[in-house]
Structure 1
Amino acid sequence: MINETINSKLRAAQDNLADVELLQAAIGKQSITGSEANFVKHLQEVLAVTGLEPITGEFLPGRPNIWGQRKGSEPGPNLMFVGHTDTVNVQGWSEAWAGQTRENPFGAVEIDGEIWGRGACDLKAGICASLAALRLLDAANIKLRGQVSFAFIGDEESGEPGLGVSAGAKDLVQRVKQGEISTPDFAIYVEPTKLNVYTAQIGFFIADIKVTGKSAYFGTPEDGVDALKASHKILSALWQHEEELTSGPAHDFVGPSGILVTDIKGGGYIAVPGQCSLSVIRKLRPGEELDKAVAQFEEVVNSADLSDGISVEMEYPAGRDHPFGGSPVEIDPNHDAARLLAECVQQEHPSGGQIGGAPYWSEAPFLVNEIGCPTVYCAPGDISVAHTFNERVNVDEYLAAVRSFALFMVAYCGTETGNEE
């Protein structure tokens, strides 16, 4: 149950200006994948001021994770907030907003009640809301019985060549397994959810298909083997596979599985196309296994009626928690902590707090599957504007997230004996 006295204390103690400034400073630290250290250095100062005794450790040379904890006054559960420190790139941002106040992607300007900038919703608002929540408890003189910990990790975002393989998450779970970081009992990964509580997420794999035939001069096509025609047959088979997946079983929160052809390149210079390449992404719903989904995909590709002389190669470049890609994952939507978090959010942000599923992949599988920690996604921000020139976060939603997380810390961890009023 949520203590109304504590609820009132938190609302009275919140410093809205300081919370907004915390987020603006975070956005101002450029941390495109590979340059996380710039933001981590800033977080080290914030965690230290908040009394979290921050520790950093490199997951790759020059690329640190950072973590810290606030020990409780008595034995109690360990709640962890997790988020990635890196953002996608800003190519084209300044050109898109040339001459306007939002021209600087790291300017963190506030316009009509929203803060703009790269990382605003994905996911620096979540990181800052979790830290501001602990700071709010301190301002309200509320001491927790259980422990609150924070782990902010790099290398989550795709897009930079050779990067974005969850190296930071892999390092985190290894440190937990080795006892260097305490095992959490429940975790909130602060990907944007509009402050809903996502207990499930999709999985995925990306496949690059190279179709090779034989090029020949256009006047003597009989001397060639057309890779583009073969690709057409593969595409037809994949689109049939898509229809079968989308009309098949559906998950309550993330819908049916699917497959999407995202890119095609091929052709010849006034000649029979000798090579063609396709890129495909496959969506998995919770309950599906990556190995089986990949085997099914390869069976579909190989079932295409291809001409003699055609060869097909397939590669899977986006391994995460699995060599082929990222696993789908879910916890019980009626998990006590997930429901309690939803209740806390609804107290402060009535349009949030709905139990649902993430239409994206992030790093909860590392926590759920590798260290056995029930994990949800919950944070301010709308995933639909992430990675775009329109990335921003609503200030009121962000401030509500601060109060919601503070309420949940109290409700989940409990308060020091005699500190309930």
Structure 2
Amino acid sequence: MTDRADGLQERFLQALDREVAIDLLRGAIGRNSVTGNEANFVAYLEEQMRLRGIDAVQKADFLPGRPNIWGERKGKSAGKRLLFIGHTDTVHVEGWREHWAGTEREDPFSGPIIDGQIWGRGAGDLKAGICTALAALSLLDRAGVTLGGDVAFAFVGDEESGEPGTGISAGIKDYVGRIETGEIERPDFVVYVEPTRLSVYPAQIGFFIADITITGKSAYFGVPELGRDALKASHAVMSALWRHSEDVSTRASHDLIGRSFLLITGLQGGGFIAVPEECKLSLIRKLLPGESLDTAASELETVIRGAIADPEIGVEISYPAGRDHALGGTAAEIATDLPEVTMLSEAVSGAMQGRGIIEGAPFWSETPFFINRLGIPAVYCAPGDIRNCHTFEERVETEEYLAGIVAFATFMTRYCGVTD
């Protein structure tokens, strides 16, 4: 432990009911909540929040039949307001049963414990984080600790992409809109419980996805001069895009999240014994804090159009993944030396040796809605390893999850204060 001067962390370690905490997470995994089906998990969360004495539990649909849920534990004296937030939806489970057929991992929603790890879809991304926050509140009660400030909880849908017509952060857009109107009280600090292996992420990448359609004119293979080769034009475009990626990567480097780049993720075209008439490219562009999405997209379009020499070749570019920006998701960061960042890092390192490291998020999630839109400092921190999420290997280390509960309870007390 890095700091047990107040004795609270030791009390939490002694008071933690491991079995109850593990059952909470296994129950969460057992609720199928693939994007669009958030209500199934929200029903479980409502039950668990009320059992834990969370006040003013409320639900509201951000889209028909797709609810958010939120509530709070009011403090007993003046203090800061802390929010724990995470998304309720998970990615799909297609192929999971076939991959694990005949093993104890076969059911993606059974939450088996194997070699000290809890398996299942959503185990890491991010039901472990949600359950860590809720179990930490229970731990405060078991240890006889009463907070001075408020702890709020919010669980929102539609964060994951992949299901048709979903994955545009509709849930958090609705939630922060309620903060802006004053319906929901504004927090002073936010912990978004994406999996970080209990590191603390005060910075994250931005991104946009671009789908590019290049259209020429088909012609019989024996007379290619009568056509306009979309595949050849696509080759020129890809070469130009790779050069552009090298250029943007040299412009700047961020201490926590590295350099910008773009990655071509898909190519589709041709199919007949003829000059290809249409090709489609897809790419994703990584951005650093301070980089403008609009400027980056404008540069991209200039590169693409400049690579096509034939004026009869057509180009259409679309941006299908708008989040907190019409074109994509903005990058975000807060100062690494903010007192609350240090406080959370120390609480985590005290609960589990080697954790609580300050790092950057290699993913995009929803803290920019707080940092960039509302001006509220936010970080990511939770058990789970993003590298095995969205795969057939999704799981979370049991001891990491339990340590996270102690860490979150410790942080709640140090940030919000306690009453006698």
2:276 maps to which residue? Answer: 273
| Amino acid across the alignment from 1:219 | G
- 1:396 & 1:12 partners in 2: Cα distance? 15
1:140 maps to which residue? Answer: 143
1:88 maps to which residue? Answer: 91
1:125 maps to which residue? Answer: 128
Deviation at 1:370, TM superposition (A): 1.9
Instruction: Indicate which of 208, 226, 231 corresponds to 2:229.
Output: 226
- 1:6 & 1:266 partners in 2: Cα distance? 62
2:373 maps to which residue? Answer: 370
- 2:271 & 2:121 partners in 1: Cα distance? 40
Q: Does 2:392 correspond to 1:397?
A: no
Q: Does 2:56 correspond to 1:51?
A: no
**Which stretches of structure 1, 4 residues or more, deviate above 4 A after TM superposition?**
none
1:29 maps to which residue? Answer: 31
SS at 2:79's partner residue?
A: coil
- 1:388 & 1:351 partners in 2: Cα distance? 26
Q: How big is the alpha-carbon RMSD for the aligned residues of Structure 1 and Structure 2?
A: 0.9
Note the 1:215-364 alignment, pairs <5 A.
215-364=218-367
Is residue 85–residue 191 contact of structure 2 (8 Å, CA) maintained in 1?
Answer: yes
Is residue 4–residue 10 contact of structure 2 (8 Å, CA) maintained in 1?
Answer: no
Deviation at 1:2, TM superposition (A): 5.3
| Amino acid across the alignment from 1:51 | G
- 1:94 & 1:268 partners in 2: Cα distance? 33
1:169 maps to which residue? Answer: 172
Is residue 179–residue 185 contact of structure 2 (8 Å, CA) maintained in 1?
Answer: yes
Deviation at 1:373, TM superposition (A): 1.2
Deviation at 1:25, TM superposition (A): 0.1
Deviation at 1:4, TM superposition (A): 3.7
Pairs aligned (count) = 417
TM-score (norm 2): 0.98
| Amino acid across the alignment from 1:332 | A
Deviation at 1:72, TM superposition (A): 0.2
1:409 maps to which residue? Answer: 412
1:155 maps to which residue? Answer: 158
Deviation at 1:308, TM superposition (A): 3.1
- 1:191 & 1:43 partners in 2: Cα distance? 17
| Amino acid across the alignment from 1:292 | T
Structure 1 gap ranges (5+): none
| Amino acid across the alignment from 2:47 | E
Is residue 233–residue 306 contact of structure 1 (8 Å, CA) maintained in 2?
Answer: no
Is residue 381–residue 393 contact of structure 1 (8 Å, CA) maintained in 2?
Answer: yes
Q: Does 2:238 correspond to 1:206?
A: no
318-327 or 238-247, which deviates more: 238-247
- 1:5 & 1:211 partners in 2: Cα distance? 65
SS at 1:337's partner residue?
A: helix
- 1:245 & 1:400 partners in 2: Cα distance? 40
The percent of aligned pairs where both chains have the same amino acid is: 55
Structure 2 gap ranges (5+): none
2:12 maps to which residue? Answer: 10
Is residue 215–residue 224 contact of structure 1 (8 Å, CA) maintained in 2?
Answer: yes
SS at 1:135's partner residue?
A: helix
Deviation at 1:344, TM superposition (A): 0.3
98-107 or 242-251, which deviates more: 242-251
TM-score (norm 1): 0.98
- 1:372 & 1:245 partners in 2: Cα distance? 28
SS at 2:126's partner residue?
A: helix
- 2:389 & 2:223 partners in 1: Cα distance? 50
SS at 1:72's partner residue?
A: coil
Is residue 2–residue 411 contact of structure 1 (8 Å, CA) maintained in 2?
Answer: no
292-301 or 96-105, which deviates more: 292-301
- 2:210 & 2:318 partners in 1: Cα distance? 6
SS at 1:217's partner residue?
A: coil
- Could you give the per-residue CA deviations for residues 17-41 of structure 1, whole angstroms, max 9, x where no partner exists? 0000000000000000000000000
- Could you give the per-residue CA deviations for residues 229-269 of structure 1, whole angstroms, max 9, x where no partner exists? 00000001001011112233110000000100000000141
- 1:84 & 1:296 partners in 2: Cα distance? 33
- Could you give the per-residue CA deviations for residues 79-105 of structure 1, whole angstroms, max 9, x where no partner exists? 000000000000010111000000000
SS at 1:264's partner residue?
A: strand
| Amino acid across the alignment from 1:264 | L
2:74 maps to which residue? Answer: 71
Deviation at 1:287, TM superposition (A): 1.3
- 1:320 & 1:306 partners in 2: Cα distance? 34
290-299 or 117-126, which deviates more: 290-299
- 1:400 & 1:342 partners in 2: Cα distance? 13
Q: Does 2:117 correspond to 1:114?
A: yes
Deviation at 1:365, TM superposition (A): 0.4
| Amino acid across the alignment from 2:95 | G
- 1:204 & 1:158 partners in 2: Cα distance? 14
- 2:369 & 2:311 partners in 1: Cα distance? 44
